[in-house]
């Protein structure tokens, strides 16, 4: 059993949860993830790790409460325990000196990109971070990312903070005036696809961290298969990061939507149970 040691609501629907998992904390690197299960009958879900403390044996993640399992996870309190934390999984980010790196994220993925930004900064890269969000109220990890970025740019859908529009609009404008050696995108599939297109137009290498459906996280089930460079890859063991210019984002999007109806039914049943006295 793995104990919840801290919980903080960052903004509505986003909670920062810290778990005691000393073996994972001792090994995890930027870009990797874990798969957790809340209880014996629970769903296995992949989740990014935004920070870890090797000394205390703690790992931290930001949970976006959108489905049955994430809402159930978000209701846990310090002292509660969950059944499984499996990891670290996936390949770590290839952290080295690239030069000028642009990081693009949206919403909760700002937390996922933070450890990558921090490690890239340690390698003396020039870091430009672009955060997108629905409104000013939904920007998270701004202070943390600002600390490890040479510049931080913001876009909100309604213009309440930074530029009105999307993170990819900021990226396009930025590249008209500045060079970049690498672009890393983590977020909605359409955002990563567009970021890759913009990078290609400028002849810039781009990496995307793919949020594929996963079950076991070890390459056994095949649920997370994606097409990269016309070849089948498993996001859990070959990724989650891939050359964004080679990813079939349209296929990824279709596969992400395969179980929408089942997810809707599960969420409705959970909310009904929660509402009953």
Structural domains in the chain, CATH included, are 2-89 (2.40.30.10), 100-256 (3.40.50.80)
13: DSSP letter: T
- 142 dihedral zone (left: phi>0; alpha: psi -120 to 50; beta): alpha
H/E element, 64: strand 58-64
What tens digit of pLDDT does each residue of 11-66 get? 999 999 999 999 999 999 999 999 999 999 999 999 999 999 999 999 999 999 99
Q: What is the pTM of this model?
A: 0.95
Q: Are 107 and 134 in contact (CB under 8 A)?
A: yes
Q: Cα separation of 277 and 180, whole Å?
A: 56
What tens digit of pLDDT does each residue of 143-185 get? 999 999 999 999 999 999 999 999 999 999 999 999 999 999 9
Residues in the chain: 277
Q: Is 199 helix (H, G, I), strand (E, B) or coil?
A: helix
Q: Are 183 and 194 in contact (CB under 8 A)?
A: no
The reply to whether omega before 264 is within 30° of 0 (cis) is: no
Q: Give the β-pairing of 2-11 and 81-82.
A: antiparallel
């Amino acid at each position: 059993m793995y104990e919840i040691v801290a919980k903080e609501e960052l903004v509505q629907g986003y909670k920062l949860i810290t778990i005691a998992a000393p073996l994972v904390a001792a090994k995890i690197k930027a870009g990797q993830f874990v798969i957790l299960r809340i209880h014996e009958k629970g769903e296995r879900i992949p989740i990014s790790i935004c920070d870890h403390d090797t000394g205390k044996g703690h790992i931290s993640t930001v949970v976006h409460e959108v489905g049955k399992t994430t809402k159930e996870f978000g209701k846990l309190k310090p002292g509660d325990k969950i059944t499984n934390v499996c990891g670290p999984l996936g390949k770590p980010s290839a952290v080295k000196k690239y030069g000028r790196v642009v990081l693009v994220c949206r919403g909760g993925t700002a937390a996922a990109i933070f450890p990558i930004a921090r490690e890239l900064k340690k390698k003396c890269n020039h870091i430009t971070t672009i955060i997108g969000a629905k409104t000013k109220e939904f920007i998270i990890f701004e202070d943390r990312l600002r600390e490890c970025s040479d510049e931080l740019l913001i876009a909100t859908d309604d213009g309440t903070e930074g530029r009105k529009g999307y993170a990819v609009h900021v990226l396009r404008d930025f590249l008209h005036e500045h060079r970049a050696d690498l672009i890393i995108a983590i977020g909605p599939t359409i955002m990563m696809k567009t970021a890759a297109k913009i990078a290609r137009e400028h002849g810039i290498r781009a990496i995307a961290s793919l949020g594929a459906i996963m079950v076991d996280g070890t390459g056994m089930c095949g649920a997370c298969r994606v097409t990269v460079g016309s070849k089948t890859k498993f996001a859990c063991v070959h990724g989650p990061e891939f050359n964004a210019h080679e990813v079939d984002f349209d296929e990824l999007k279709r596969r992400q939507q395969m179980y929408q109806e089942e997810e809707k039914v599960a969420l409705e049943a959970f909310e009904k149970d929660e509402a009953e006295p």
